[in-house]
Amino acid sequence: MKFRFAVPALVLLGAVAFLGCRKVPLTPKSPIPSGTVVFRFTRKVRGPVELSLDGARIPVTQAPKGAISLVIKGLAPGKHRYFLSSPREIFSPDLSDLDMTTDKGIYQIVLTQKFEAVLYGQPDPLPPAEGLPGVSAALIK
């Protein structure tokens, strides 16, 4: 047996594993206030990101160079159902329930993968989001 390709293959595999693994914080740096949800993405999201909350589309303030978190503020205590979508990324979970309490906010990690849904040209423009009173969403770095 010849192992002339074994050493370069192991070096290449080690480099890919080292460069490909990024650490995502499992807990927030500071406590999240009540009525706030922070979705922490595993990779930078270029956007545009569409957010539906309790059946209503929420306008999301987009970051020009991408973002790693989506912050939603102004949610009332109780159960809320959300849906995340984008023509450039896939999210997991993209649809779930949030159980907002009165004493603290929610921090959730969202697995993100790059995916171009529109291969040629521009995606069809969507109508403006109607939003919910008092609820705001923004992509932040």
Q: How confident is the model over 41-94, as pLDDT tens digits?
A: 999 998 789 999 999 999 999 888 889 999 999 999 999 999 999 988 999 989
Q: pLDDT tens, 8-38? A: 666 655 545 554 556 777 888 899 999 999 9
Model pTM? 0.79
Sorted by where each starts, the structural domains of the chain and their CATH numbers stand as 24-140 (2.60.40)
Q: Do the Cβ atoms of 85 and 94 come closer than 8 Å? A: yes
CA separation (Å) from 42 to 5, 59, 114? 33, 22, 11
Check whether the bond before 31 is cis (ω within 30° of 0). no
